[in-house]
Amino acid sequence: MKKTVLINASFLVEVDETEVRKDFGMIDQIANELCHDQKIRIGTNEVNVEWESSSTVVLDPGSMNCGKCSTCGRWITDREKSDPLLQLCNGATFKGKLLCDDCLPEDHRWSF
């Protein structure tokens, strides 16, 4: 018996602010390039991967639970605060600094 599995992949892209407001601008074109059905070879098996949906979010640390890691600059969400963006890497505020799961101390709950 087979099961259908939904796999979500998130990509980050930096674009000029003017691109955010364009109809079928660079953001839409990039999304279209990423959203193709494809066949993937895993060992000797070939798997059909079918596009299902896509969405875009303009990250805004002022109004969303997101920001860049104070140490490495990776985009993250603070898992100890409300409304985490689950598509981003986990992180937390530690000693006043927002840190990703790689930069948090090893014994921290959200450390990787």
Taking only the tens place, the pLDDT of each residue in 21-31 is 899 999 999 99
Taking only the tens place, the pLDDT of each residue in 13-58 is 999 999 988 999 999 999 999 999 999 999 999 999 999 999 999 9
What tokens appear for 35 in the block? 């959203």
Q: What is the pTM of this model?
A: 0.83
**Does residue 41 sit in helix, strand or coil?**
strand
Q: For residue 34, what is the DSSP state?
A: H
CB distance 84 to 91 below 8 Å: no
Distance, in Å, from the CA atom of 88 to the CA atom of 16, rounded to the nearest integer, reads 21
